[in-house]
Amino acid sequence: MWQAIQVGWFLAYRQIKRSSIWTTGLIVFIMTLTFLNLVVTSGILVGLIVGINEEFKTRLNGDLTISPLDEKKQIEKTTEIVSIIRSSPEVKTYSTRYVRGVTFEAGYKTRKDADEPNEVAAPLVGIDPLQEDAFGGLSSKMIEGRFLEPGDSDAIVLGKDLVEKYQVDDNRPSLKNVETGDKIRITIGDNTKEYTIVGIIRAKADVISGRAYVTKNEFLNFTGAVNYDADEIGIKTTTDAAALALQKTLKENGYGAYAKIQTFEEGTPQFVRDIAALFGTLGNFFGSIGIVVASITLFIVVFINAVTRRKYIGILKGIGVSERAIEYAYVMQSFFYSVIGSGIGIVITYAFLVPFFQANPIDFPFSDGILVAPLDGTLTRMGILVFTALVAGYIPAKMIVRQNTLNAILGR
């Protein structure tokens, strides 16, 4: 066995060395493209979901999210929970939000009784502008006007999904003919108040773009809240371990009985995880088509190479070179092509593509798409490609080598 491998390696080396550099380059190029198709297609599809998750984590949820229990409307003992959050040195920033469903109406001053009201129902969110901006950087997402300031009392920032001119879905309710500087009326229960639109915000997370924002003090005064129990608390920590430690601390202090305390991963909806798994499967499926094409190409190349060298193979068998050694020679050639092609693909992926997409994410309507290429998954795909190439090289070599030695030498 060892002797057959040594002879096969020698024959493979001689054949690759003497083959046309253009032929070798073309095969390696095909292997590189196949590898990139396998890694990049899957990576981009998964990157869509990762981009969505990153948007929610950065702008809304953070590393740790606190929300009301299913049977409750608010986070009980908010003041005590916030006190613990503030005292934790591992917390980088946090945001406390107050949320109510309200009705927004525009054009009410000129509307006639027979006209249909220009209104939409959506969440109104009370925030500390400085705290929220430090948490999610929402001021950088303004497409009109400005973000809220701490002293604002009758000012409101609308999400772009509430404004008709920024809508891509014509069937989604939104306010018509409104822009920065216009006044709208908000109704919640028996309370009604007029606000001036100071800005319009656009974010990839539709939850953010589908809300309107006022300052916390304005929200509490307008809604007539009797306590400071919040509806959402997003927390960003220095590390993932710090988020787990803070979660443990809060639960050990009994606050798990008053609110849901979840890490970002725990709070991610199951449908998002299912979509991520689906996109990964689709990426692997499309990549596998590339593997099949590359395998067929390599099969044809090796087969034609072996057929044109039948006489040479017959002579090798005639002078005592074992069939196994000759088969190993072609398998090793396939190994060479696939490993070199995959190696080049890995360099391109991690030296160029991953950094490029990190710096220039694909601008999808719902996500900033990046290329997700974990090293373990990439090496697994490389292993699949190499194995497939070995099989594609072995089969035609086996077919030619099994022919009668004398017929091969005589070209019959």
Q: 2-6, 131-135, 308-312 — which one is most confidently predicted on average?
A: 131-135
Same domain, 324 and 221: no
Tell me: pLDDT of 116 over 90.
no
Tell me: pLDDT of 286 over 60.
yes
Token pair of 378 as six digits: 């990439």
Token pair of 52 as six digits: 């969505």
pLDDT at 361: 82
pLDDT tens per residue, range 310-353: 666 666 666 666 667 766 777 777 788 888 888 999 999 999 99
Same domain, 78 and 209: yes
Same domain, 390 and 277: yes
Tell me: pLDDT of 37 over 90.
no
Domain boundary among 258, 282, 316: 258
pLDDT tens per residue, range 72-103: 889 999 999 999 999 999 999 999 999 999 99
Domain count within the chain: 2
Q: Which of 137-146, 164-173, 251-260, 343-352 has the lowest mean pLDDT?
A: 164-173
Domain boundary among 258, 292, 318: 258
Tell me: pLDDT of 145 over 80.
yes
Q: Which of 117-131, 213-227, 286-300, 362-376 has the lowest mean pLDDT?
A: 286-300
Q: 53-67, 228-242, 267-281 — which one is most confidently predicted on average?
A: 228-242
Same domain, 99 and 199: yes
Token pair of 354 as six digits: 């991953």
Same domain, 126 and 189: yes
pLDDT at 326: 67
Would you say residue 64 lies in a domain? no
Q: What would the mean pLDDT of 41-68 be, rounded to a whole number? A: 83
Domain carrying residue 141: 69-258
Reported as a pLDDT band with limits 50, 70 and 90, residue 272 is: low
pLDDT at 377: 79
Tell me: pLDDT of 214 over 90.
yes
pLDDT at 96: 94
Q: Which of 27-31, 328-332, 360-364 has the lowest mean pLDDT?
A: 328-332
Q: Which residue has the higher pLDDT, 55 or 93?
A: 93
Residue in 303, 379, 290, 298 with CA at minimum distance from that of residue 338: 298
Q: 89-103, 112-126, 287-301 — which one is most confidently predicted on average?
A: 89-103
Tell me: pLDDT of 218 over 80.
yes
Tell me: pLDDT of 256 over 60.
yes
Same domain, 218 and 82: yes
pLDDT tens per residue, range 148-207: 999 888 999 999 999 988 887 667 788 998 999 999 999 988 889 999 999 999 988 788
% of the chain surpassing 70 pLDDT = 81
Reported as a pLDDT band with limits 50, 70 and 90, residue 401 is: low
Tell me: pLDDT of 208 over 80.
yes
Phi and psi angles of residue 73, each rounded to the nearest 5 degrees, phi first: -100, -20
Q: Which residue has the higher pLDDT, 193 or 362?
A: 193
Would you say residue 267 lies in a domain? no
Would you say residue 144 lies in a domain? yes
Q: What would the mean pLDDT of 204-216 be, rounded to a whole number? A: 89
The 10 Å CB-count burial string (b at 16+, else e) for 270-298 is eeeeebbeebbeebbeebbebbeebbebb
Average per-residue pLDDT in the chain? Answer: 82
Domain boundary among 229, 258, 287: 258
% of the chain surpassing 90 pLDDT = 35
CB 198 within 8 A of CB 211: no
pLDDT at 9: 59
pLDDT at 312: 61
Strands (E), 64-190: 64-67, 91-106, 118-127, 142-145, 155-159, 183-188
pLDDT at 28: 83
Residues 53, 59: Cα–Cα separation, whole Å: 10
The amino acid sitting at 375 is L
User: Other C-beta atoms within 10 Å of 21: how many?
Assistant: 7
Would you say residue 126 lies in a domain? yes
Would you say residue 62 lies in a domain? no
Would you say residue 266 lies in a domain? no
Q: Which of 103-107, 117-121, 170-174, 253-257 has the lowest mean pLDDT?
A: 170-174
Same domain, 245 and 277: no
Tell me: pLDDT of 412 over 60.
no
Helix (H, G, I), strand (E, B) or coil at 89: coil
Same domain, 242 and 122: yes
Residues 188, 216: Cα–Cα separation, whole Å: 16
Tell me: pLDDT of 285 over 80.
no
Q: What would the mean pLDDT of 251-277 be, rounded to a whole number? A: 82
Q: What would the mean pLDDT of 113-137 be, rounded to a whole number? A: 90
Same domain, 350 and 307: yes
Tell me: pLDDT of 389 over 70.
yes
pLDDT at 67: 92
